Amino acid sequence: MSLTTPDSGNLLAPVTELLAMGGPVMGVLLAISVLGLGTAFYTLVVSLLQAPRLNRRIRAGVDQWCDGDDAAARRSLSGQRNPLAGLLAFVMHRRSQGETEDSLRDEVARRAQRLLLPFESPLKILEVIAALAPLIGLLGTVMGMMTAFDAMANAQGQADPAELSGGIYEALSTTATGLAIAIPFAAIAAWMEFRMRRMQQQINDLLVRIFRREVPGNQPREAVTATTGAQQHSDDHRPENTQRHAMA
């Protein structure tokens, strides 16, 4: 008893025709197109579940932090599944404990990089597919043209023009398939790269705003240096002033 049905045969008919038209090269193109579709679907799911997003509560929390209301800022960031909220809450907590920007820079950079890490590998896969698909299609075209001209040479000038043009058509079909695969994946990769750069810029802007606010107990280094210098200058002139008062 056969397990195949007429419906399944109809669905596989275009694939079978493509494989017959382009040979092994067409099979490779179909395989990388399936890989690209799987990668794009995975990226879509990850972006819906794990992508850092700048929403209204995060904006409100950062504004409250800049206004000095630490408790309200933490309440705005708490209870969110957005990974960006967790990063900002971590920075606010460490800043409120007295840590400076210099001591937090490496750890914050590492955590911010981890937010974008799930998108780097899919982006690279899509970029490679978009670059390789036209080249693989061109390889199939060259191989098909070589086969067609070899058949014409073996016919000793008696080759049928219709058969020759059919062979050239089949050879060019691999280039067309490669371009049809590369164009949408190149567009998806460019959109992903734009989104990643935009997310990175938003993260940097929020972190700069959080670090720019002076937390009580964290006096700027320049201010500390100026205060110390003023105190030393006052101490240096204090004996002189005392001596003048004694002489008077």
pLDDT digits (tens, 9 = 90+) for 33-74: 999 999 999 998 988 888 888 889 999 999 999 888 888 998
pLDDT of amino acid 228: 40
Q: Which tokens belong to 177?
A: 């398939």
Question: Among 30-39, 109-118, 125-134, 146-155, whose mean pLDDT is lowest?
Answer: 146-155
Task: Please report the pLDDT score of residue 166 as a whole number.
Answer: 67
Express the helix, strand and coil content of the chain in percent, nearest 5 each: 85, 0, 15
- Which DSSP state fits 214? P
Residue 18 pLDDT > 80, yes or no? no
pTM: 0.71
Q: Where are the domains of the chain?
A: 22-217
- The per-residue pLDDT of the chain, averaged, comes to 79
Whether residue 190 contacts residue 126, with contact meaning beta carbons closer than 8 Å, is answered with no
Find the range with the poorest average confidence among 138-152, 156-170, 203-217: 156-170
Q: What mean pLDDT comes out for the span 104-126? A: 90
What is the rounded distance in angstroms from the CA atom of residue 202 to the CA atom of residue 204?
5
Q: DSSP label at 3?
A: -
